[in-house]
Chains A and B, each alone.
Chain A
Amino acid sequence: MKKALHYLALVAIALLCVFPFWWTLVTALSTEGNVFAFPPTFWPKAPSLANFAEVFRVIPLWDFFRNSVFIAACTVLWKLIFCSMAAYPLARMHFRGRKLVFGLILATLVLPSEVNFLVNFITVTKLSLVDTYTGVILPNVVTAVAILLLKQAFEEVPQDLIDAARVDGASEWTIFSRIMLPLIAPWLATVGILTAVESWNEYIWPSIVMSKPDEFPLSVGVLYLRGTFGSSTRVVAAGTILTILPTLAAFVFAQRFFMRGMDGAVK
């Protein structure tokens, strides 16, 4: 009896979480009937993929898709390089100013970063990076959370390995790139996947920096779709489904990385 109640609660909340996705999918697959009708339809009427084809026909979805992939790939790559480089000395070297640097990085967690976009817009303008992917990517490359996660990963590597390499005369760069990075690969994967999804979903900043529609990432492009086809709900729904599909796939396949990323953030 208790178990039944437990499941009832779980199912009710799960429905609340998933239902909007389901309704959007049903709408995207339906080709007949009134979209907004009482009672609403919970199963597609005359299901077909025509609406999806229509999305591809009316907006440059492949371009949006390619832009998103490009932005996400660059953000992940540069973030992994720069943040692991920053995390390594913080974790394994004794140097002057270490506490200060660490404090500064922690401070960015507390500073209200959402407020930064106005001045960042000025900076990006002054650097002539408006309408460039560099402008979209650069401000997101270094984040405190990534540095902290990777620092923790570096701290878990046994000191013997580093000492042995130093005795063999390896340079710090060699130790970092040939020994340390491969050892923390699972954590690099965690940070990489979290960053990829974050970047894929980012909406406000790219919409500020990019002004030419064919250069939009998907997250911005999908609203453009709503603007263009405000009345054609089914096409908008199909575009919406196409936008979230990659994120959902990434989430299903890499669920443990998402959960672990949070795990590290709490400690």
Chain B
Amino acid sequence: MSRTTLTAWLFLAPALVLLAVFSFWPVGFGSYLAFTDYSLIRPTHWVGLDNFRYIFGNEMFVTGLVNSVLFLLMVPCVQVGALALAVLVNNQLPGIRLFRAAFYVPVVTTVSVVGIMWGFMFHEQGTLNYVLLLMRAVDAPVGWLSHDGIALFAIMFVTMWRGLGWYMVMYLAALQTVPADMQEAAILDGANRWQRFWKITVPMLRPTIAVCTILSVLAALKAYQEVDVLTQGGPMNSTFTALYYAYDQGLKHLKLPRALAASFVVSLLCIGVALCCLRWLKPKHR
């Protein structure tokens, strides 16, 4: 081994050790444990697909899986919204920095605080119901977090509220790399705003759109923090997501193999969907 190689590996060593222990080990060991009856106190036995049979026969997990997939509805909303927002703040109007900051503030807020604040907003006598009653959009106060048909969508809304600013900044950064002279040339050719957006901006943003969409698909499939701080899976288990089931079984009930089987399923789903996304979104070769 040459001197440089040795030096390089010494520099890398601490980071690699930590990555190995806390990133690679959990994936490998966790996948193995999903097929065993692991517990902290007994010897471990291989049980094959038992855990998977259990969770797929379990109503809570199945609801969770369906809900996780329902969370995907969020992806187009967030991406279109974030892109629109980025276009809206990508100019030199007075006070625009203030607006950018305002849109980004939810991103830097602790999820537990978000849970408390939106708990207030969603309260039956909270502001949201007041505004909706005022606008006559609803006839009676809605129990946003206490109605089993609505709570999941309320959580999805909060997740969106938290994520929008993050994607906005990604798109904003990308928009600022779109060369101005292309736009000017298109204006000279008589293209209107809408045409310029679709024919120039969107194709230029394609790589960013691809990355953001994949990230947001993965985020949607892995949603559980907002569930924990807003409803803890209730009312009547209607807001369980697949990963929240894993969290609930593994850490609250210490049924680790089941929990790991559940997160194994989520992982497979994530990897599968990410691969599909990559395929669809990869720029076509010209």
Contacts and interface: CB of A to CB of B under 8 A. Distances in A.
B104 A40 contact: no
A251 B104 contact: yes
Nearest to B251: A208
A255 B101 contact: yes
Interface residues of A, number: 91
Contact of A37 (B89, B125, B133): B125
Interface in B84-108: 85, 88-89, 93, 97, 99-106, 108
Contact of A115 (B15, B89, B165, B266): B266
Contact of B4 (A16, A93, A240, A265): A93
A137 B13 CA distance: 18
A158 interface: no
A179 interface: no
Interface string A103-139: 0110010111111111111110100000000000011
Nearest to A42: B127
Contact of A13 (B85, B228, B270): B85
Nearest to A85: B11
Contacts of A266: 170, 173-174, 208, 211
A262 B169 CA distance: 7
A124 to B, nearest CB: 9
Contacts of A250: 108
Interface residues of B, number: 89
A165 B222 CA distance: 48
Contacts of A19: 121, 127
Contacts of A219: 110-113
A223 B11 contact: no
Given A123-B26, A251-B104, A82 B109 contact: no
A23 B116 CA distance: 12
28 contacts: A10-B89, A14-B103, A24-B120, A36-B123, A40-B130, A81-B14, A86-B12, A89-B9, A95-B7, A97-B5, A111-B27, A115-B26, A115-B30, A117-B247, A118-B30, A123-B22, A138-B22, A141-B18, A142-B14, A203-B225, A204-B228, A219-B110, A222-B112, A222-B116, A237-B120, A240-B117, A244-B110, A247-B109
